[in-house]
Chains A and B, each alone.
Chain A
Amino acid sequence: MTAGAAPTSSRYARRTSRLGNLLVHGLLSLGSIVMLLPFIWMLSTSLKLPADIFTFPPVWIPSEIAWSNYAKTVSAMPFGRFYFNSFVVATSVTVLQLLVSSLAAFAFARLRFPGRNGLFLLYLATLMIPFQVTMIPNFILMRFLGWYDTYQALILPPAFSAFSTFLLRQYFLGIPLDLDEAARIDGGTSFRIWWQVILPLSGPVIAALAIFTFLNSWNDFLWPLVITNSLEMRTLPVGLSGFQSEYGVRWNLLMAGSVIAMLPVLIVYLVGQKWFVRGITLTGMGGR
């Protein structure tokens, strides 16, 4: 490259990149509108009176803001109870799964015992098996145990995850073994090493796993649909789906129900989105 050519080409590059930036902003803004439209349409409909819903062309701003739709929705369906159930289930699944998986992952990554590799391979082998294969026998098992339509059934089967165990094991393997050994010299037991050395050093992966385990459990639909029956045991997605079959075309109420179901997660996401994005790249989880 000659001395004279460099400034020209970089000035050219700057000009094209400014034009490029404009184009990219245009493309991304258009995409953003498409992505946001369903949220806005949902919110708008949830505040409409029936007269404003069935109009053509549709209006975005209702002629009268009908906050009463939310009161009607909450009195038509026990959404408070659904929230409570979803919260209890998602929290329990997350705490149990992290505890159980991190204990097992510690054994697989840091301890020596006969059968370790064989057992780990068995865990790995089940990673490929889709949920639908085990769903039906688990349903039968729950009925056999008398757990149909209970919290145990909603919480226990999803609380054990070969994937979480695998993910944590991989992470634990990367922590230097010297730390365990130093702790052992000081008389530390395996349990103390797990609790005071390994877990504190695994903050990012545990946070990521916690976020996505909670989110997946909160949003899970098929298992709670299959295993619950009474209104009192339904989680938010199942409750909302039941609301749909009863309130067919009352779109303002259905949209109010959707807002109620989406809002808490959206708020948590908007506040802590950095963690979501970091977590997704660390675990490759989310979105199902």
Chain B
Amino acid sequence: MALQPHDQTRTPEHPSTGVAARRWRGGWRPSYQPEAYVFLLPSLIGFLLFTVLPVLGALVLSFVNWNLLSPPKFVGVANYVELLTRDAIFRTVFGNTLFFTITVVPLQLALGLLLAVALNRPMRGLTIYRTIYFMPVVTTIVAAALVFQWMFNRDFGIISAAIWKLGEWTGVPLTPPDWLNSTTWARWAVVILTLWKNIGFTIVIYLAALQAVPQDLYDAADVDGATAWQRFRNVTVPMVSPTTFFLLVIQMIGAFQLFSEAFVMTNGGPAQATMTIVYYIYQNAFQFGRMGKAAAIAWILFAFIFACTFVQTRLQRRWVHYEAGEG
């Protein structure tokens, strides 16, 4: 998406020769240009060495047990069987990852669209807001996770202090949770960090889509006496639905691959409550020395991402609105 380079307008005749384009083109653009392989070579070497070979390697790896010290041992599908039937931790990390996906993605899309609509008005000072909302996107997740770890500190963190203060003002006896030491709240802490970090990206993408919605659709809705909500529901939402689909897919993929947030802020804890699939891959490969099992988890992750993306692409026909000629 988002790629709209210049129009491919061709002049029927070349100005300098006056010969009809097709003949001329046949003469000057041979059907075989061997130098192409020279252009491709650097990319192809890297592609084969760092992508194709590792993909095949990962497949082989997932059928062996190997700690890199003793020679690898072929075990067939034992790694997969262990993961899918006996490994209770894998079930936990899979569930956690699902939890992060079904909380982060919808919240991200809803908040992002809301803020983008708010920013898409002829008002002064909007650039400043956009600049602020986008700031976390460019920061290092490790630093951001450290800051949030400190903010979520129960005794001296600013979030707990804000909750106490709110309780004082409203008279409601509010007690802040012990965020990072509670299995329930630690997960929400990860959700909050992820939203803060990525919302700016969603807003900017939605803003670009909103700016492309033709004004006459809104004018027509006004003539029909539509309320602001009706305009949003019946014009804005369908017109940006291709963008919603794009964001849905890439954020779903991103959420399945969540790692740094949990690694830095919660260490996967407490009691594996925030441990994700990728975290478990990391642990198995680089802490437990189980390369084969880690590769098998990576393949299961891939299969799952692939299946979800496939289902989304199928479902999009029901709700994604494409302009005539675009799709």
Taking Cβ atoms with an 8 Å cutoff, the residues of A that contact B are 1, 20-21, 24-25, 27-28, 31-32, 34-39, 41-42, 45, 53-58, 99-101, 103-104, 106-108, 111-114, 116, 119, 122-123, 126, 128-141, 143, 156-157, 159-160, 162, 165, 167, 170-171, 173-178, 180-182, 184-185, 189-191, 194, 205, 215, 218-219, 221-222, 226, 236-238, 240-241, 244, 251, 254-255, 257-258, 261-262, 265-266, 269-270, 273, 276-277, 280-284, 286-288
Nearest A-chain residue to B168, judged by Cβ: A57
Taking Cβ atoms with an 8 Å cutoff, the residues of B that contact A are 1-11, 14, 16-17, 24-25, 28-37, 39-40, 42-44, 46-47, 49-55, 57-58, 61, 68, 115, 118-119, 121, 123, 125, 128-144, 146-148, 150-151, 153, 155-158, 161, 164-165, 196-201, 204-205, 208, 223, 228, 246, 250, 253-254, 256-257, 259-260, 263-264, 278, 281-282, 285-286, 291, 294-295, 298-299, 301-302, 305-306, 309
Q: How far is the CB of B291 from chain A (nearest CB, A)?
A: 6
**Contact status A100-B42, CB under 8 Å:** yes
Q: Which listed residue (B37, B133, B151) contacts A31, Cβ 8 A?
A: B133
- Of all A-B residue pairs in the complex, the 8 with the closest CB atoms, nearest first, are A174-B5, A160-B46, A137-B57, A104-B43, A137-B54, A287-B201, A134-B54, A107-B39
**Bound CA span A269–B68, Å:** 42
Q: Which listed residue (A107, A182, A226, A244) contacts B14, Cβ 8 A?
A: A182
- A57-B165, A137-B61, A174-B6 known; A41-B151 Cβ under 8 A: yes
**Contact status A129-B302, CB under 8 Å:** yes
Q: How far is the CB of A201 from chain B (nearest CB, A)?
A: 9
Contact residues in B for A129 (Cβ distance below 8 Å): 51, 55, 302
**Contact status B39-A56, CB under 8 Å:** no
**Contact status B44-A126, CB under 8 Å:** no
Secondary structure at chain A's binding surface: helix, strand, loop or mixed?
A: helix
A–B pairs, 15, beta carbons within 8 Å: A107-B37, A112-B36, A131-B257, A134-B50, A135-B281, A143-B68, A156-B50, A174-B5, A176-B8, A178-B14, A221-B260, A237-B143, A240-B142, A244-B264, A287-B200
Nearest B-chain residue to A16, judged by Cβ: B228
**Contact status B46-A100, CB under 8 Å:** yes
**Contact status B2-A282, CB under 8 Å:** yes
Contact residues in A for B55 (Cβ distance below 8 Å): 126, 129, 133-134, 137
**Contact status B146-A244, CB under 8 Å:** yes
Q: How far is the CB of A27 from chain B (nearest CB, A)?
A: 6
Q: How far is the CB of A62 from chain B (nearest CB, A)?
A: 14
Q: Which listed residue (B7, B24, B140) contacts A240, Cβ 8 A?
A: B140
Q: Which listed residue (A165, A173, A194, A262) contacts B139, Cβ 8 A?
A: A262
**Contact status B143-A262, CB under 8 Å:** yes
**Contact status B196-A35, CB under 8 Å:** yes
